[in-house]
A and B are shown apart, each in its own frame.
Chain A
């Protein structure tokens, strides 16, 4: 019996929905689709109908429940804080139990549950492409078509990362005495697709003198498995990560991926006290950096004469946890950056992890709005704090014929640090 809450456990929360319709203003999928089945209120109504045996798990119910990015935007704005993303995840677990995992869900479970297999796939030239992205059209930006060169670094990203980030770095990097020790939870995006973000992470923490542990045997956070309803995989990954991240004593577990921050910082909470302790130690990199005085250190640097216009995109998985100011604080303090706020910085980019694999067309429509807002604010770069968002933002900008580039804020930060 899984410790993850089942749909029945959410009955009280489901009944808290008063059908006011406020989620219609905040659901990215609803914005693109204009159908009540796509919005939190509709999904909660369906979940209740399923619980009450008013409706079975028929195709249309599955379709509506698949139409959720699990971004949490609705819950953040809900007057009664109905956790629709958790309810949808629980409903998907029920679907997996009753109907078995979808072939896609099986792929997710098979790959994510076996980090060695993931490494192998990465080395053989395509961590995600063959299994996970087989439904994606040939011309899709998601087919590992990585963004063009970053302008802050002198190198371009290799099209395919043959050596994952964690294999490139030692497991422990000693800092200075008196400074905290952190475990770096890299997540798959950084490990397999954007190792440059991981390298930037290490340089920044070295600058501060922080000791960093990068456990080799950490695994995927499990969010794609949550999304697919793959209960067992979530629990396996949780156990792997708990063991990897608590082997050595650390002050914090730090992430540079918004979704991983939710992954290890929230979704394991029902699995037990050890997991809750892990969640309590989990911290986003920019929250960590602000806490350790980086903005003040940056403020002391001389401002550059020609500064680059940069805007910031709020990843849903940070925004819905109240983390919006810290990344902006860092960004505004960078000497080479002229910060501009875009309209709708806090609206979803439309990726939703594996959502965009199933619903690329809608994902693209959500992304198009974002691309328009980026273009309108005149930024040359859009910085964010999530590899998934970077992939989607760049794809959306490319589709819109825009000029801006999507980067991780750490990459801008590392470029500003003195050698």
Chain B
């Protein structure tokens, strides 16, 4: 319970209707996609940077933690109010402020939903590539805070590659701007990059300046079935070696394919043990040629079958297979740990073999799919938490997966972030010196540890 004077001041700052201490509202802002639950003391819906600035000053005076929140769709608990306090949601700051067609730059508020932004810029022939699976509902503020990825990143890069500048409210309540609408800019430290992926611990993003690209004229999708994951992985390397970077290069391993077959009745030959979904984009006349070239390059690598979509509807049907994965997995077991390791792309088959070995040893199903093109593997450890001992086994397996990842030169998280879910494992990847450097930054910027405390690093 917060003192009533704090609630009164919050109401004074943002207006009565934008502050709630009702139990029902606290419940509705207590969770994210990790399914963990922490009740805040108050939920606040600010609408301007100035309001957020005043909230941060108040929070520092009163020593109340503040937990910024976009759509609450993260997988690692970045927005969870783990210590009560204030949930500060930017979901009502949802305006696209500018789309500058001359400079290919847009300015948005943090609560704009990613897909709605993409549709708005595509209407004028422009393109914002980052495409996290949550793009229909996650917000750009959340995408920047977590540095979201997605299938198209193999060709186009991740969220931070499109952020030119930010307006940010600091943990102490100052309003600062970083970067700006120019393509170049080296004045001072690159705070924009620092804040991208800072998981709401270093500042609250209130405005985002985004770089846009011209919208590719067309795309072409193909689905290729392989007789082994090795074949699929070698296909990825072969495509890249031939100087082709497809817009997406998604894979599913044999176990994922089994789940999808079982859940959706998808008809594929039994010899298929891995799938690649390859999409190329660009000028229309050039796509057929490129798709054929890819088909020729990968043909000797154990291809069981190739399906090339000729129409947008056929393309959609191929993507539907990929999108059906998550729901299909639940048929295996009710609970899952969803990790998103990333290894150098040539190491994907070795990593999959390692994961299969861990899965067999612990006797728990682990299915893998994800972004083969950039080595970002979604490792899904499927358990039933109701069975005693399963959770402990899963946690041990996760640790081994992370150790295996790091041994191959990889990283624990490609795009989901650390939050609270992976915080215990951070020492596996980051040396004490590097961690100390990061913590020094946090401490200097947030001396009272007010903003999203307990995230990334365990307290």
Give A contacts to B, CB under 8 Å. Answer: 18-25, 34-37, 42, 45-46, 49, 54-55, 58, 60-61, 64, 79-81
Contact = CB atoms under 8 A, between A and B. Distances in A.
Contact of A18 (B28, B33, B134): B33
A1 B243 CA distance: 70
Contact of A46 (B28, B35, B92, B327): B28
B16 interface: no
Interface string B300-342: 0000000000000000000000000011001000000000000
B105 to A, nearest CB: 25
Contacts of B24: 37, 46, 49, 55, 58, 60-61, 64
A21 B73 contact: yes
Interface of B: 22-25, 27-35, 45, 71-73, 89, 91-92, 94, 111, 113, 115, 134, 136-138, 326-327, 330
Nearest to B34: A19
Given A20-B73, A21-B138, A24-B137, A34 B27 contact: no
A45 B136 contact: no
A37 B89 CA distance: 13
Contacts of B33: 18-21
A45 B31 CA distance: 9
Contacts of B91: 34-35
B29 A36 contact: yes
B27 A25 contact: no
A42 B28 CA distance: 5
Nearest to B70: A21
Contacts of A61: 24
Nearest to A42: B28
28 contacts: A19-B32, A19-B33, A19-B72, A21-B32, A21-B33, A21-B72, A21-B134, A22-B134, A22-B136, A24-B71, A24-B73, A25-B113, A25-B115, A25-B137, A34-B45, A34-B111, A35-B28, A36-B28, A42-B28, A45-B27, A45-B30, A46-B27, A49-B24, A58-B22, A58-B23, A58-B24, A60-B24, A79-B326
**Which residue, A36, A37, A55, A80, has most C-beta atoms of chain B within 10 A?**
A36
B330 A80 contact: yes
Nearest to A27: B137
Contact of B134 (A20, A36, A46, A60): A20
Contacts of B71: 21, 24
A218 B120 CA distance: 48
A114 B136 CA distance: 45
B419 to A, nearest CB: 14
A329 to B, nearest CB: 16
Given A34-B92, A79-B326, A60 B25 contact: yes
A368 to B, nearest CB: 16
A80 B327 contact: yes
A18 B23 contact: no
A37 B113 CA distance: 18
Contacts of A42: 27-28
B111 to A, nearest CB: 8
Contacts of A54: 27
Given A54-B27, A58-B24, A60-B23, A19 B330 contact: no
Given A24-B73, A60-B25, 16 more contacts: A18-B33, A19-B33, A20-B33, A21-B137, A22-B134, A23-B137, A24-B71, A36-B28, A37-B24, A45-B27, A46-B27, A58-B23, A58-B24, A60-B22, A61-B24, A79-B326
B364 to A, nearest CB: 19
Contacts of B326: 79
B124 to A, nearest CB: 15
A49 B29 CA distance: 13
A19 B136 contact: no
A45 B28 contact: yes
A213 to B, nearest CB: 39
Contacts of A34: 45, 91-92, 94, 111
A22 to B, nearest CB: 6
A-B complex: 4 closest residue pairs judged by Cβ atoms: A21-B73, A25-B136, A60-B24, A36-B28
B35 A19 contact: yes
Contacts of B29: 36
Contacts of A24: 71, 73, 113, 137
Contacts of A19: 31-35, 72
A236 B233 CA distance: 62
A58 B22 CA distance: 10
Contacts of B137: 21-25
Contacts of A79: 326-327
Contacts of A60: 22-25
A140 to B, nearest CB: 23
A36 B43 CA distance: 11
A36 to B, nearest CB: 4
Contacts of A23: 137
Contacts of B32: 19, 21
A55 B27 contact: yes
Nearest to B330: A80
Nearest to B25: A37
Nearest to B23: A55
Contacts of B113: 24-25
**Which residue, B23, B35, B94, has most C-beta atoms of chain A within 10 A?**
B23
Nearest to A23: B137
Nearest to B75: A20
A18 B36 CA distance: 10
Contacts of B134: 20-22
Contacts of A81: 327
Contacts of A58: 22-24
**Which residue, A24, A45, A55, A61, has most C-beta atoms of chain B within 10 A?**
A24
A31 to B, nearest CB: 10
A42 B71 CA distance: 12
Contact of A49 (B27, B92, B330): B27
**Which residue, B28, B72, B115, has most C-beta atoms of chain A within 10 A?**
B28
B145 to A, nearest CB: 15
A54 B26 CA distance: 12
**Which residue, B27, B138, B326, has most C-beta atoms of chain A within 10 A?**
B27
A25 B30 CA distance: 19
B311 to A, nearest CB: 16
B179 to A, nearest CB: 28
B19 to A, nearest CB: 12
B131 to A, nearest CB: 14
A291 to B, nearest CB: 23
Nearest to B91: A34
Contacts of A36: 25, 28-29, 72, 89
A42 B89 CA distance: 15
A58 B71 CA distance: 26
Nearest to A78: B327
Contacts of B27: 42, 45-46, 49, 54-55
Contacts of B330: 80
A46 B23 CA distance: 10
Contacts of B45: 34-35
